[in-house]
C-alpha cells in the first residue's frame, strides 16, 4: 500500500522560493489572516446582491469548475470568484439555492451587473432548453434531473481563445497553471481570500511575451502557438479583438474555419471557442469524453474506432440532429455527467434507487 500523503506542511522545497503549490479546488484559509483586532467595519463588507435565479437556471458548481473557463476560482463549495472586464466579482448560492453576486473592486455597479448578466448568458432560458432536450432524449431527462443548472457561459473571445489553446492535449491542473500565468500579465484588480485576480491581458500586452518566456513558464510546445496566434491577430486589418468579435456574426462553419487558421487551433479548440464565446450554440466540441458518449448512445456503429478529425464533424452532426440548434448546450450536460467527480455522485444517487427496478443491465460487455 502506498504511503499516505505527506502531512499538510509545505513540501521541502529545495532552494529558492518556488512558486506556491498549484491551485486545486478550494482555497482554504491557510493564508495569513488579517489581524482581527485591527479590522473595524471599515473594511469593505461585500454587499451581496440577489440575481433572483433558481438554481435550475444557474448552478455554480456545475457551471464554473467544468472546463469552460479556467479563470474563475472556487473560494468555497458554493462561491466562485472571477473577473469580467475590469470587474472583480463573486457569485454564490445562499441557502444552496438562489444566486447572489458581489463586486469587490471600485468599478461601476451598473456596468458590472450588465456585464455579469451577459457573461452568464442570461438571455437564454436553461429550463426551456432542457425541457426540449428531455423530450428528445429520455436519457438526457434522467441526467437533467440530477444535474440541473449547468449553464454555458458567454466569455470574452480573446480570453476563451488563449485558454483553449492552452488546453490542447493537456490536463486541468496544468491548464490552470498556464492560464494563471497569462492572467498575471494583466492589470491587477484585487484579491479575494488570498487569491490575486487580474484583468485578462490585452493583445498588445500578450505580444510583449516571447515564446521563450512562455516556454519557461511551462507552456511546452504551446508557447509557439500562443505567440503565433497573437501575431496573427495583430496582423488583422481592423484589429485582432475586433476580428474575433466579428466571428459572432458568422455562421458556425465560417467561424470555425477562421479560428482554425490560427496556430494551435484545431477543430476541438475551435468548437470550444465558438460555443463558449461566439454565440455558436450548436457548436459541439468533440473530445475523448464526448466521443465515448456518442459511440455509446448516438452512433454505436462507430464504437471502437479511433477518433479522427473527420469523425469529429460526424459526431457534431449527430448531436445537432438529436438536440437541435442548441446542441452545444446539451453536450455540456452530457459531458459534465461523464466527469469522474459527477459520475461518483450519480452512482451513489442511482444505487439508492437501483433496488426498485433491476431492468435490463446487459448491453455493454465489449472486449
Partner DNA sequence: CGGTAACCTGGGAT
Partner DNA sequence: AATCCCAGGTTAC
Per CB under 7 A, which region of 49-57, 106-114, 163-171, 318-326 contacts DNA? 163-171
What are residue 101's DSSP bridge partners?
49, 91
Does position 15 interact with DNA (CB under 7 A)? The reply is: no
Query: Would you say 92 or 214 has its CB closer to DNA?
Result: 214
Q: Which are the catalytic amino acids?
A: 268
Which 256-275 positions form the footprint of DNA (CB under 7 A)?
260, 262-270, 272
- Measured CA to CA, the distance from residue 182 to residue 160 in angstroms comes to 12
Q: How far is the CB of 218 from DNA (least distance, A)?
A: 5
Q: Which of 55, 113, 248, 289 binds DNA (CB under 7 A)?
A: 289
Which 308-367 positions form the footprint of DNA (CB under 7 A)?
308-310, 335, 339
Q: How far is the CB of 9 from DNA (least distance, A)?
A: 17
Per CB under 7 A, which region of 40-48, 90-98, 304-312, 356-364 contacts DNA? 304-312
Query: Would you say 204 or 212 has its CB closer to DNA?
Result: 212
Q: Which of 66, 105, 107, 234 binds DNA (CB under 7 A)?
A: 66
Query: Would you say 8 or 32 has its CB closer to DNA?
Result: 8
Per CB under 7 A, which region of 38-46, 60-68, 153-161, 347-355 contacts DNA? 60-68
Q: Which of 109, 114, 288, 341 binds DNA (CB under 7 A)?
A: 288
Nearest 5°: phi and psi at 261? Answer: -75, -10
Query: Would you say 100 or 280 has its CB closer to DNA?
Result: 280
Q: How far is the CB of 100 from DNA (least distance, A)?
A: 25
Q: Which of 104, 222, 227, 282 binds DNA (CB under 7 A)?
A: 222
The site for DNA (CB under 7 A) is made up of: 66-68, 167-174, 215, 218-222, 225, 260, 262-270, 272, 285, 287-289, 306, 308-310, 335, 339
Amino acid at each position: 500500500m502506498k504511503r499516505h500523503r505527506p502531512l499538510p506542511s509545505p513540501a521541502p522545497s529545495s532552494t529558492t522560493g518556488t512558486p506556491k503549490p498549484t491551485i486545486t479546488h478550494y482555497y482554504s484559509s491557510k493564508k495569513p489572516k488579517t489581524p482581527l483586532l485591527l479590522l473595524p467595519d471599515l473594511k469593505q463588507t461585500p454587499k451581496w446582491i440577489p440575481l433572483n435565479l433558481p438554481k435550475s437556471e444557474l448552478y455554480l458548481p456545475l457551471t464554473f469548475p467544468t472546463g469552460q473557463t479556467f479563470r474563475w476560482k472556487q473560494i468555497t463549495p458554493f462561491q466562485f470568484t472571477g473577473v469580467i472586464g475590469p470587474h472583480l466579482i463573486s457569485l454564490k448560492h445562499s441557502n444552496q439555492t438562489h444566486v447572489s453576486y458581489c463586486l469587490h473592486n471600485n468599478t461601476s455597479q451598473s456596468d458590472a451587473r450588465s456585464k455579469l448578466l451577459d457573461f452568464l448568458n442570461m438571455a437564454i432560458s436553461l429550463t426551456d432548453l432542457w425541457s426540449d432536450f428531455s423530450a428528445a432524449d429520455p436519457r438526457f431527462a434522467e441526467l437533467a434531473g440530477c444535474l440541473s443548472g449547468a449553464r454555458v457561459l458567454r466569455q470574452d473571445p480573446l480570453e476563451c481563445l488563449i485558454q483553449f489553446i492552452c488546453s490542447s492535449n493537456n490536463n486541468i491542473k496544468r491548464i490552470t497553471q498556464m492560464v494563471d500565468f497569462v492572467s498575471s500579465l494583466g492589470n491587477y484588480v484585487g484579491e479575494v481570500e488570498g487569491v490575486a485576480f487580474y484583468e485578462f491581458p490585452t493583445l498588445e500586452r500578450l505580444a510583449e511575451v516571447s515564446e521563450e518566456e512562455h516556454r519557461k513558464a511551462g507552456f511546452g510546445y504551446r508557447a509557439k502557438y500562443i505567440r503565433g496566434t497573437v501575431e496573427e491577430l495583430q496582423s488583422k486589418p481592423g484589429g485582432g479583438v475586433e476580428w474575433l468579435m466579428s466571428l459572432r456574426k458568422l455562421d458556425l462553419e465560417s467561424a470555425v474555419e477562421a479560428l482554425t487558421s490560427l496556430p494551435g487551433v484545431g477543430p476541438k479548440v475551435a468548437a470550444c471557442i465558438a460555443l463558449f464565446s461566439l454565440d455558436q450554440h450548436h457548436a459541439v466540441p468533440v473530445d475523448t469524453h464526448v466521443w465515448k458518449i456518442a459511440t455509446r448512445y448516438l452512433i454505436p456503429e462507430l464504437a471502437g474506432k479511433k477518433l479522427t478529425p473527420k469523425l469529429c464533424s460526424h459526431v457534431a452532426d449527430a448531436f445537432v440532429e438529436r438536440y437541435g440548434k442548441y446542441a452545444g448546450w446539451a453536450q455540456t450536460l452530457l459531458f459534465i455527467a461523464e466527469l469522474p467527480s459527477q459520475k461518483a455522485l450519480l452512482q451513489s444517487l442511482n444505487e439508492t434507487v437501483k433496488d426498485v427496478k433491476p431492468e435490463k443491465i446487459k448491453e455493454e460487455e465489449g472486449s
